[in-house]
Structure 1
Amino acid sequence: MEKKEDKCWRTHVAFLPMPFQGHINPMLNLAKHLVYKRVKVTIAISLSKAKFIETDNSKITVELYSDGSEDGGESRTLDSYLKHFKEVGTKNVSKLIENHLNSKYPIKCLIYSSVIPYAQNIAKQYGLIGASFFTQSCAVNSIYYHVYHGHLITPVRGPQVSLPGLPVLETHELPSALSVFYPDQEDRSVLRLLTNQFSNVEETNWLLFNTFDKLEDEVVKWTAEQWPEKVISVGPTVPSIYLKNGPEASKHDSSHYIEWLNTMDSGSVVYVSFGSVTKLGEDQIGELAWGIKRSNMYFLWVVRDEEQHKLPTKFQDDISKQGLVVSWCSQLDVLAHKAVGCFLTHCGWNSTVEALSLGVPMIAVPQHIDQPTNAKFVEDIWRVGVRAKVDDKGVVRREEIENCIKDVMQGGRREELKRNAVRWRELAKEAVDEGGSSDRNIDNFIAALA
């Protein structure tokens, strides 16, 4: 029997995220926004990532395909994996789209991760509208644009770089793969991947950015001037329940870490996480551990299972009354919790946007790729946090960690940082509220598809 809601879809959109968590999560959140606006959504997820995907929205269709890495292929070098994905994954995604051609709601648009620009060929093959989704900030992507076109020569030797729509950046504030200090093959591969996002932007119909107008106003305007009528900001791609309900969003979560947070005073806990990919050296993890402990602040620290052996011996016994170490948590539920007073973060774009959207001040400890640039904006442009200083070996020492935590949680800047964070939370909510800038952009996008 036909479901009632099946009669009222406005159009059908397929999502193809690169099979990395940092690409899947924001695209899945955008998919939820589209479903709310009566757009039928199918999201293609590789078999290798299927176990990591959770969606509480039964109206989103998840279709699985092989990217050729189920046998451990992700252990290949980045170049090898990408070559294999292009050969195997896109062929299987094409079959997936073909299966919908004669359905009641054939797919009208393919939204794909910008780092797989050749997905535009799939859209063209089946007569679909193509939309490239950029998962990093507009500022960072504009830097890659200048590298791609030869306006910025790498490795950048400094000391400063001045580009349209951006503040003056020190060399160490640029994405890591641009710097002379990161000459290895993996970083060259990453740089090639990220600059190639612009290899066929003239052919795609839309360029979608996970940002909002007031967050990156100048560089969004500059980017829109390069591709008139194509560029739109659709962020923050944070589920609306968190933007609307704030601390209430996680109120009924029974996870042990939420129950632990429920026992804490408002703003008393430091949340520490370096995302799903970043691998810290044992030295850095040790310095973090003792710096956090020396701050005497309560903390919740996410240390992935494969990283926990790097923790100092008996550390978890030493801090049993001060903090909690977990291997995973729902980051949005934690950031939305009233007990969390600051976020010690690597400044990945998803984490940065989530903290901004939920009004949480940050301690920036950037590691690689876009994170140094994001950290620059956190401290100097949005003024919602502090950047931890590294020593001559590139390590943030325990004294610096301790001082940064105390500065944000207790120091003279605490009220200023919190006030600014709350302001950005309100602006993020305003952008996605009905009639807000991103909401209007999404409506215009849908209207162009229908």
Structure 2
Amino acid sequence: MGVEVEHKPRKPHVLVFPFPGQGHINPMLQFAKRLLSKGVRAALVSTVFLASSSFSGSSISFDHHTISDGFDEGGIYQAADAEAYLSTFCSVGSKSLAALIQRLGETGHPVDALVYDSLMPWALDVAKQLGVPAAAFFTQSCAVNSVYYHVWKGDLQLPLPPTRVYLPALPPLRVSELPSFVAIYGLYPAWLDALVNQFSNVDGAEWVFLNHFYELEPEAMDWMSKHWNVMTVGPTIPSMYLDKRLQNNKDYGLNLFDPNASACMSWLSGKPKGSVVYVSFGSIASLGTKQMAEIGCALKRRNGHFLWVVRETEKSKLPHNYIEETSDQGLVVTWCPQLEVLSHESIGCFLTHCGFNSVLEALSLGVPMLAMPQWTDQATNAKYIEDVWRVGIRACCDKEGIVRRETIEHGIKELLMEVGEKGREIRKNSIKWKNLASKAVDAGGKSDKNIDEFIAKVQSN
């Protein structure tokens, strides 16, 4: 009598392909970790150049494949400009991605689904050609995506007149509250084209994922769901800061800069609860010398504690001897572990550029925000921070485009409840959103259910 061999079902094999920038990789990498924790064979696809950066601190081992973007030695920094990079990435990346998917199939590891960054619609074309189901992953908010969609459709004709803009399921928006690529027409044409072209073929995607949770923008979510199979899967931040189901998942796993974690956390540990102003403008935004001086003066004049992230390339813009003169008040570092910092009990508020990842992190951790948007989607995010979610205050600039020290100082004092009553309401709202974010990714939460539904569909194909 023969021995029956039990054939276990093959784990679904999903490629996760982010655009090669830290703000895009981090949320998609966390999404891949969620898939992996649910029994999916999730593999990360990155460019050859990016693979030379350190994917560190991850407790989960990934399959990691590389493709060429045409600039293997320097990535986008090797290209002449953004237009050259994006066009070359499209032509070279399409062939390289197709070759990868074909090679995996030939070696007994066929790809069951591709989750691609919406900024690379050509990846969907590759998936379609090879018969692989695909999901577009949007890393910006519904409101921002909606603006670009309406530009794509021709409903928003550029350049815009200086009036308010009225779009379905969104609050009225001043032109200055739109993404800068739309508001300041002609400033960054290559990036505007890339963001608008996200919608060139998205109708062909089986799923549209949003690094989001439903309660943040229910009207916009419902509107988008009429057009595509939309699923919220966020906030995709490390599990130990939300549901804590993925043990030791405390960081994203990628740092393009080296964080001085021990110095930051040691310094914070000695500060009173809710007393520290955390200041960071992300990995790309570059402030002018005048603006740096205004921020520095506001922090110094308030005579309170602050932790200020100033990248190495930006340190020369600090006022003369600033670090030495404020050493009893603050700590200036070139980079830091932001989630650890935001979750520390000593943090009272976050002076932020309003990048969507930073906004989601602050929302998920209940930290009030002082919004100082710089470019791209940040002005729209700042609008929502103050007027829709009511978890912060916008620090408005003057006619010269500078946010003055008095505005910054007053905003900080309001958020820390040192003046006025606004800070109390903001803090209450911040706790509400923190609870909703955690609930979304809990077992059985809406985002968690959506991930399970996606996996079930992939398995059944």
User: Where on the TM-score scale, by shorter chain, does this alignment land: which range?
Assistant: over 0.9
Q: Is the 8 A contact 1:44 1:65 kept in 2?
A: yes
4+ runs of 1 displaced by more than 4 Å? Answer: 6-9
Alpha-carbon distance between aligned partners in 1 of 2:55 and 2:342, rounded to the nearest angstrom = 20
**Change in 2 beyond 3 A, CA 1:254/1:277:** closer
Q: Is the 8 A contact 2:59 2:249 kept in 1?
A: no
Match of 1:53 in 2: 55
Q: Secondary structure at the match of 1:232?
A: strand
Is 1:375 aligned to residue 382 of structure 2? yes
Deviation at 1:126, TM superposition (A): 2.4
Match for residue 108 of structure 1 among 112, 117, 122:
112
TM-score, structure 1 as length reference: 0.93
Match of 1:329 in 2: 336
Deviation at 1:366, TM superposition (A): 0.4
Q: Secondary structure at the match of 2:216?
A: coil
Is 1:357 aligned to residue 361 of structure 2? no
Alpha-carbon distance between aligned partners in 1 of 2:178 and 2:15, rounded to the nearest angstrom = 33
Is 1:434 aligned to residue 435 of structure 2? no
- Residue identity in the other structure for 2:431: V
Alpha-carbon distance between aligned partners in 1 of 2:325 and 2:30, rounded to the nearest angstrom = 38
- Residue identity in the other structure for 1:276: S
- Residue identity in the other structure for 1:188: P
Alpha-carbon distance between aligned partners in 1 of 2:244 and 2:338, rounded to the nearest angstrom = 15
Is 1:210 aligned to residue 219 of structure 2? no
Question: Which is further off, 17-26 or 58-67?
Answer: 58-67
Match for residue 418 of structure 1 among 404, 415, 427:
427
Q: Is the 8 A contact 2:238 2:249 kept in 1?
A: no
Alpha-carbon distance between aligned partners in 1 of 2:401 and 2:318, rounded to the nearest angstrom = 19
Alpha-carbon distance between aligned partners in 2 of 1:113 and 1:198, rounded to the nearest angstrom = 12
Q: Is the 8 A contact 1:8 1:38 kept in 2?
A: no
**Change in 2 beyond 3 A, CA 1:447/1:245:** closer
Deviation at 1:128, TM superposition (A): 0.9
Q: Is the 8 A contact 1:272 1:302 kept in 2?
A: yes
Deviation at 1:316, TM superposition (A): 0.4
Structure 1 residues 333-382: Cα deviation after superposition (integer angstroms, max 9, x where no partner): 11111111111101011111111011110000001111000000000000
Match for residue 66 of structure 2 among 61, 64, 68:
64
Deviation at 1:66, TM superposition (A): 2.7
Alpha-carbon distance between aligned partners in 2 of 1:149 and 1:254, rounded to the nearest angstrom = 46
Q: Is the 8 A contact 2:139 2:210 kept in 1?
A: yes
Match of 1:121 in 2: 125
TM-score, structure 2 as length reference: 0.91
Question: Which is further off, 104-113 or 271-280?
Answer: 104-113
Structure 2: unaligned runs, 5 residues or longer:
1-6, 251-259
Q: Secondary structure at the match of 1:10?
A: coil
Structure 1: unaligned runs, 5 residues or longer:
1-5
Q: Secondary structure at the match of 1:255?
A: helix
Q: Secondary structure at the match of 1:324?
A: strand
Q: Where do residues 20-35 of structure 1 align in structure 2 (5 Å cutoff)? A: 20-35=21-36
Q: Is the 8 A contact 2:278 2:306 kept in 1?
A: yes
Q: Is the 8 A contact 1:40 1:59 kept in 2?
A: no
Is 1:178 aligned to residue 201 of structure 2? no
Alpha-carbon distance between aligned partners in 2 of 1:271 and 1:371, rounded to the nearest angstrom = 18
Match of 2:139 in 1: 135
* Identity among equivalent pairs (%): 46
Alpha-carbon distance between aligned partners in 2 of 1:52 and 1:159, rounded to the nearest angstrom = 46
Deviation at 1:294, TM superposition (A): 1.4
Q: Where do residues 126-165 of structure 1 align in structure 2 (5 Å cutoff)? A: 126-165=130-169
Structure 1 residues 191-240: Cα deviation after superposition (integer angstroms, max 9, x where no partner): 1111100000121111111111101110000000122xx11111111111
Alpha-carbon distance between aligned partners in 2 of 1:139 and 1:184, rounded to the nearest angstrom = 21
Deviation at 1:414, TM superposition (A): 2.2
Alpha-carbon distance between aligned partners in 1 of 2:57 and 2:163, rounded to the nearest angstrom = 45
Deviation at 1:59, TM superposition (A): 3.0
Q: Where do residues 374-393 of structure 1 align in structure 2 (5 Å cutoff)? A: 374-393=381-400
Deviation at 1:266, TM superposition (A): 1.2
Match of 2:454 in 1: 445
Alpha-carbon distance between aligned partners in 2 of 1:9 and 1:242, rounded to the nearest angstrom = 32
Q: What RMSD, in angstroms, separates the aligned Cα atoms of the two structures? A: 2.1
Q: Secondary structure at the match of 1:97?
A: helix
**Change in 2 beyond 3 A, CA 1:55/1:131:** farther
**Change in 2 beyond 3 A, CA 1:291/1:449:** same
Deviation at 1:292, TM superposition (A): 1.5
Q: Is the 8 A contact 1:9 1:39 kept in 2?
A: no
Work out the number of aligned pairs and report it.
438
Deviation at 1:54, TM superposition (A): 2.6
Deviation at 1:110, TM superposition (A): 0.7
- Residue identity in the other structure for 2:262: S
Alpha-carbon distance between aligned partners in 2 of 1:73 and 1:38, rounded to the nearest angstrom = 33
